[in-house]
Amino acid sequence: MKATELKRYRKALVEKRGELLDRVHAVRTSEAQNREKEAPDLGDRALSTVTRELQYQLTSGERDMLRLIEAAIKRADEGDFGVCVACSKNVQTGRLQAVPWARHCIDCQELQDQGEL
Ligand SMILES: [Zn+2]
């Protein structure tokens, strides 16, 4: 991979990380605000529980993504970005453009999705 290409992917990863961190921060802030409010009746309380669970799910999903992005930035710095962690072949350019934090090439990702990796 060319250095300019690598730089572009790294930049995209850093930007995505910033976006996620902003969102994680926003969710935490709104959770803190919700906790301060007293739900006046059971209906409201039930609804606010659902909202909170949704926010937790979002946060945990985003945290997973954040971990993948951090790992991809590390690989970019160590010079093995764009190489499948399972088979060591180059990850397809189209895939990297769509998912720059991808750890696997398309073939290995399929195996993983099927639980065979
Ligand atoms: Zn692979």
Dump pLDDT digits (tens) for 62-97.
878 889 999 999 999 999 999 999 999 999 999 999
- In angstroms, what is the span from residue 75 Cα to ligand 1's centroid? 15
The confidence band for 60, taking pLDDT boundaries of 50, 70 and 90, is confident
CA–centroid distance, residue 14 to ligand 1 (Å) = 24
CA angle, residues 8, 11, 14, in degrees to nearest 5: 155
Residue type, 80: D
pTM value > 0.85? no
Ramachandran angles phi, psi of 83, nearest 5°: -110, 130
Average pLDDT in the 92-108 region? 95
- Could you report the per-residue pLDDT of 4-59, keeping only the tens digit for each? 999 999 999 999 999 888 876 777 777 777 766 655 555 665 656 656 655 555 57
Q: From ligand 1's centre to the CA of 78, what distance in Å?
A: 19
Domains along the sequence of the chain with CATH: 1-80 (1.20.120.910), 82-117 (no CATH)
| 19 CA to centre of ligand 1 in angstroms | 28
- Per the listing, tokens 């709104």 go with 30
> Quick check: helix, strand or coil at residue 85?
coil
Cα 110 to middle of ligand 1, angstroms: 9
How many angstroms is it from 60 CA to the middle of ligand 1?
Answer: 26
CB neighbour list of residue 108: distance below 8 Å, 6 or more residues apart:
84, 86, 87, 117
First to last CA, the chain: 26
| 11 Cα to the center of ligand 1, angstroms | 24
pLDDT of residue 53: 55
CA distances from 57 to 61, 65, 82, 111 (A): 6, 12, 29, 26
Q: Which residues are registered as beta bridge partners of 90?
A: 83
Q: Report the candidate in 29, 26, 48 with the shortest Cα–Cα distance to residue 37.
A: 48
> Ligand 1 center to residue 83 CA distance, Å?
8
